[in-house]
A and B are shown apart, each in its own frame.
Chain A
């Protein structure tokens, strides 16, 4: 499995070489885009991390987790993932914050972290996407598709936790 990433890199680099692209210039240009992108992300990240920090410090997050833990536990979702699962549909950077926290506090190879990674990797920011995609258009009847997506995401979360326990 570890071979996939090196393979993609070698393939793209060799392909670019064959097509006579200036590899160094082009790669650097991509990184310039990355700088812009990261800087544009920083304000949201800062605000959301602050929100997470005081949510945590106030004890409200424990309250919420404890309230939902029985229902989630029944479906096999570890209570540690509650906040991640709840915030993911709304905000990519917010859920990234929680994912990072989970990885750092439970260790990258723990069951909880692997679960969190699979849930994060196999879901999307539903509400954010719906807002961006349909901004300025007349199509407004989005309730049904959004419901389908949320239900499917929840099903895949339950399955993710199941698979991680087996593997």
Chain B
């Protein structure tokens, strides 16, 4: 991000200096103002969902969801480490509910656990699954649309679900297939 930010900033400033130097400060101010407005909207969204997820965690709902998913994660990731399996299950449950922020800590913990048994395949598989997004309910997007006055904010539910399934399936498929085909190649190991 650092490289992109600096590059875009410098090139834009140079371009602005040439075309319209008086607009630099006003557009920077406008940007900051938008950031504050945006973070207010975001706070409202997070307040709702983090409140709800705190309830789910306290009542043991998240734990029982994780327990249900544990046998599955054991089979897919091929690890006997209980803590790793639980973290993976929690990570995937949070992801499914669209709580990406809550999912990250679990993934980091799971990958740390898998590091102990140097299970590189499981680590990368978990990364591939997370990086293609596996959410059932895109809560942030739905809430954003609702606050912008959409008639039916949740009608993107099905398209999102289909796309997220396709992207995860493609990525996992490519990764697993690539590992098999190029087993000798050092990049895939």
Contacts and interface: CB of A to CB of B under 8 A. Distances in A.
Given A103-B145, A118-B163, A163-B162, A49 B35 contact: yes
Interface string B108-146: 100110010000100110111011110101101110110
A9 B52 contact: yes
Nearest to A137: B115
A117 B8 contact: no
Interface in A6-29: 8-9, 12-13, 15-16, 18-19, 21, 23, 26-29
Contacts of B41: 100
Contact of B8 (A45, A51, A145, A146): A51
Contacts of B160: 117-118, 121-122, 160
B83 interface: no
Interface residues of A, number: 95
B1 A27 contact: no
From A41, A117, A143, A160, residue with most partner B Cβ within 10 Å: A117
B5 A47 contact: yes
Contacts of A99: 141, 144
Contacts of A139: 115, 120, 123-124
A158 to B, nearest CB: 10
Interface string A36-79: 01100110011111111111111110000000000000000000
Nearest to A155: B170
Interface in A68-124: 90-91, 96-97, 99-100, 103-104, 107-109, 113-114, 117-124
A106 B22 CA distance: 28
A27 B54 contact: yes
Which residue, A28, A42, A139, A151, has most C-beta atoms of chain B within 10 A?
A139
B60 interface: yes
**From B28, B151, B171, B174, residue with most partner A Cβ within 10 Å:** B171
B127 A159 contact: no
Contacts, number: 307
Query: Interface of chain A, helix or strand or loop or mixed?
Result: helix
Contacts of B30: 53
Interface in B146-189: 148-160, 162-164, 166-172, 174-175, 178, 186-189
A135 B38 CA distance: 29
A40 to B, nearest CB: 10
B138 to A, nearest CB: 3
Interface of B: 1, 4-5, 8-9, 11-13, 15-16, 19-20, 23-24, 27-28, 30-32, 34-36, 38-39, 41-43, 46-47, 49-56, 58-61, 100-101, 104, 107-108, 111-112, 115, 120, 123-124, 126-128, 130-133, 135, 137-138, 140-142, 144-145, 148-160, 162-164, 166-172, 174-175, 178, 186-189
12 contacts: A12-B56, A30-B53, A30-B55, A57-B20, A59-B15, A117-B138, A121-B164, A124-B130, A129-B127, A139-B115, A156-B132, A167-B159
